[in-house]
Amino acid sequence: MGKVIGIDLGTTNSCVAILEGGQPTVIANSEGGRTTPSVVAFGKGSDRLVGQLAKRQAVTNAENTIYSIKRFIGRRWDDTASERQRVTYKCVKGRDDTVDVQIRGRNYTPQEISAMILYKLKQDAENFLGETVDSAVITVPAYFTDAQRQATKDAGTIAGLEVLRIVNEPTAAALAYGLDKGQEQKILVFDLGGGTFDVSILQLGDGVFEVKATSGNNHLGGDDFDNCIVLWMLSQFQEQEKIDLSQDKMATQRLREAAEKAKIELSTLGATSINLPFITADATGPKHLAMELSRSKFEEIVAHLVERTIEPMVQALKDSELKPAEIDKVILVGGSTRIPAVQSALQKFFGGKATDRSVNPDEAVALGAAIQGGVLSGEVQEVLLLDVTPLSLGIETLGEVFTKVIERNRTIPTSKAQIFSTATDGQISVEIHVLQGERAMATDNNSLGRFVLAGIPPAPRGMPQIEVSFEIDVNGILKVAAQDKGTGREQSIRITSTGGLSTSEIERMRQEAEIYADQDKKRIDLIELKNQAENLIYSYESTLKDNGTLIAQELKIQAEESITLVRGLFVDPEVTTERVHQQIDNFQQLLLTIGTSVYRKANSSEASDSIETTILPTNRETSTQFTKTSVPITQEEFDLDFAEEDSTVTVDYEAIE
């Protein structure tokens, strides 16, 4: 194997590193910089600029200069409305409901734009090494979805790189920090980059880097701090000059650059001047923007962003069952961690503990990726990286319940299977709806994809045994398969949906799981009781069909009244689980009386119990909902053989009739 480069593909800046003599080294770009702006520009004709040269001409070519493309990669059009409003280039809806960028009538996917940045980094590495580079380890935010990870991997392929591994950014930073540290310690990596925020807690020791928990926000970063300054400048200028600059793309681009510059200066200065001559003009002549921004004012307008960094730390500590005092080191990663307000908030959260700045926050992720590249190439020995999946994965089951198959913060690679069954007699197909999140109800979680397992032989409900298998590979990319154990018929899906999780979705999944825990529990309990009631009703109706002549008319009337009463409870929004329990118990006692009567009259054995857990279809042929059967799966870890020729499918499905 040749040289393996490590790439930090960032929202605002990217970095490439290589392992030399057992130590990671950052590779400078052709302009001499150690980081490369994640910017692509299209000039006149076929001219294309990448990196610093592209950023330099952005003001005069705003509509054709693409930045922050990482915010769109692997995501749906409907999920990116706020992000699209903040860029100066034109976004259009692409194939499969993706976000494309349109430049002079031609559409480019986020993967293509990202590939241009990766190719620039690849060229810089080849110039430095004097040899061809065709393998890389690329990092992504810990909270990137399966679709975003796959899209990033595709971008590497487009750039001519074999992506050996996708690594979470905070995990890579921990590798850079802990490579030469032999003692055991618990570290928290606080990674606040240009467009994403991640928190990971790791246990280090004896060459093992084990991720205990991860949390974060895919859409919180330095760009958002810049945007706060831009909005402040727009407001101030409109108040002073009565002119709205927000629709002027060239002016907006100048404001963005000035905001970034001011933010950086305020990390070391108490105040900064913002001067933008000839920002616009009106009937009275040209207008100039001249403002003073103090650090205290800056901290005031970004206070809500700083506050949003706290909750993911609380969640990560809770998931890892640790207290702030038990963290040995807090590692800062990402340029935005230089903001004094962020550092102050961290010190306050950890009781005054100083943060560790032994690694360069702009370079740590790329250095860690280079170390992982050395591990994969065999150059680095005795280093084991154990990462985790950030959110739970499962399927929709009866009553729109989210049944988890793989819990969050489980070490990857991992695999697990669970047995499900049908709900109606003669059902010949089922639809598997794959979900990601932490809420109890399917509708409250993120949909990853759907697929149908057809060709199930007609059988009584509950008889078919359908094994649903989940496998997450070392890159955090998910595959799901379903197999009818009776026939061996199998269907699988590689999750490559374009939809990702927005900031609000990520926060909602975490916070609402706590806030609405009691409400969710009641809904789950009522659904389980409804399933129990329907099974009892089904049992009675089967007995009535087979032995109706043996049941007294009075008992039949009582049964029908009880069924009406029980079913009526489930449409009452104020009903309590205790009341439902009582009515179901009464119905069970009535069925016991009916069964005893039938037994005595027929002098035959008692009817066998029906299987309790079922899948209820939306129609007779194709089911969209599952529940667990009483048949447990005997193994948790297993190997899945997904054939290379398996088709890749998107998330948009139509019901199969």
Q: Indicate which residues carry an active-site annotation.
A: 8, 70, 169, 191
Are 125 and 5 spatial neighbours (Cβ–Cβ below 8 Å)? yes
Cα(178)–Cα(371) distance, rounded to whole angstroms? 11
Q: How many helices (H) and strands (E) does the chain have?
A: 16, 29
Cα–Cα separations (whole angstroms), residue 117 to 67, 314, 318, 359, 375: 11, 35, 37, 24, 25
Residue 153 has φ and ψ, to the nearest 5°, of: -65, -40
d(CA 331, CA 188): 6
Q: Is the CB of residue 370 less than 8 Å from the CB of residue 17?
A: yes
How many other β-carbons are positioned within 10 Å of the β-carbon of residue 594? 22
Residue 167, number of CB atoms within 10 A of its CB: 28
From the list 208, 217, 187, the residue with the least C-alpha distance to 411 is 208
User: Which is nearest to 223 in space by CA: 260, 274, 168, 276?
Assistant: 260
* Token code pair at residue 244: 């709205």
Task: Find the angle CA(32)-CA(35)-CA(40) to the nearest 5 degrees.
Answer: 95
- For residue 173 the two structure tokens come to 């930073």
Is residue 483 within 8 A of residue 470, CB to CB? The reply is: no
Question: Cα separation of 648 and 449, whole Å?
Answer: 11
For the record, the structure tokens of 452 come out as 């149908």
CA distance 124 to 20: 16
SS3 353: coil
- Rounded to an integer, what distance in angstroms lies between the CA atom of residue 399 and that of residue 239? 54
| Residue 453 structure tokens | 């397992």
Pairing of strands 393-397, 285-294: unpaired
As a whole number of angstroms, the distance between CA 192 and CA 209 comes to 21
DSSP letters, 542-570, are HHHHHHGGGS-HHHHHHHHHHHHHHHHHT
As a whole number of angstroms, the distance between CA 628 and CA 109 comes to: 40
What the block records as the tokens of 645 is: 């020729």
Assign residue 339 a region (left: φ > 0; alpha: ψ between -120 and 50; beta: otherwise): beta
The answer, yes or no, to whether the previous bond of 457 is cis (omega within 30 of 0) is no
CA angle 50, 51, 56 (to 5 degrees): 100
**Token pair recorded at residue 398:** 């009866």
